[in-house]
Structure 1
């Protein structure tokens, strides 16, 4: 497996340039994503990525160095769509009610699944990670892991302000994500057509997840919650 320093090299170069990706990198990553989702990891090489992006193979190599690094950066780029100016985790609003924070986060999970290639991406990870465990590791490290940690920190802020009573925010964060994703994500990832067709609406799933979570973690009625 490529050394992690090599995998992080493009990010370091972007820092030196002062931030966002050049347009050519965006084109390369978009092309790579189309190809990897269609043909899997082994079905793609730098030549095909270059051809789809309309650049030379040397340009792809100069920007990223290897197919593995392209894949890692494509995963990073994919997950970057989750958090933005209109996403609750860009700045967790600890002045909002626990109900509003939970609903906003659940709606972000729904939106990400509906508006990106998250379902196809998750299928790719499931199919490839048996042979290439680092793919699942990167998918978690660059996406679900940081998102879960940020949501847990948000829940921790609600605990400290007395709006939740939650001894383990990280456990609670995973529980809430499960309440949402079990209905809105995993039946689609696994292509359970009958189950997916028989699901309640997304709005019902979100509202029931919020109510279930609050039934367990709302503050005691006789006073504010105390951090565990």
Structure 2
């Protein structure tokens, strides 16, 4: 392997990630991965014995990337807990491949036991981070955490998932920030 060139395993993962994002779990086949990656079927199966295993690896990558992005977000929003909370949802909403987990969770996880576990883990990681972020910012009321997370999910994530709009308008974002601030008594 030449230096700087991705390994075949990395190439397969990258292609599978694109396909899962474009077509979902059911619409992605090993044959499509083989065709788009330009590798042989045995190469795919030597690295990933089943489509399920391939999806697990993609989902694990997405979860790790989301956690890393939230860590960076936490360091940049220390003085504004509401912007940090909203930012966690905006990170997902702005990245097509991160939305993959939610799209599969909404549309296909009822068919796939393991995919359900992985999509639940992704959501649990987000909710845990949000609650911990709010707690460390001095907001410890669990009921208010639930309300704040629900508002962010409904205002930021759901419209993108259902392709209602690309992102929050500046005005809507300001209103959401104000409402969340009032929930926590910051206004």
Shorter-normalised TM-score: what interval? 0.7 to 0.9
Shift in Å at residue 76 of structure 1?
1.7
Normalized per residue, the structure richer in helix is 2
- Is 1:177–2:149 an aligned residue pair? yes
CA RMSD of aligned residues (A): 3.1
Decide which structure has the larger Cα Rg and report it.
1
23 and 214 in structure 1: CA distance in 2 versus 1, 3 angstrom threshold: farther
1:118–1:209 distance in 2 versus 1, CA, 3 Å: farther
Structure 1 residue corresponding to 2:117, chosen from 133, 137, 144: 137
Equivalent-residue separation in structure 1 for 2:78 and 2:25 (angstroms):
43
Paired residues in the alignment total 179
Q: Which runs of 5+ in 1 are unaligned?
A: 1-21, 219-228
**Cα shift at 1:182:** 0.5
Q: How does 1:52-91 map to 2 (within 5 A)?
A: 52-84=36-68, 87-90=69-72
Stretches of structure 2 that go unaligned for 5 or more consecutive residues are: 1-5
Change (3 A) 1:43 1:151: closer
Greater RCO (Cα-Cα under 8 Å, separation 6 or more): 2
1:209: Cα distance to partner?
4.5
Correspondence for 1:28: 12
Corresponding position of 2:35: 51
Matches within 5 A, 1:132-171: 132-141=112-121, 143-158=122-137, 163-164=138-139, 166-168=140-142, 171=143
Find the residue that maps to 1:109 and give its secondary structure.
Answer: helix
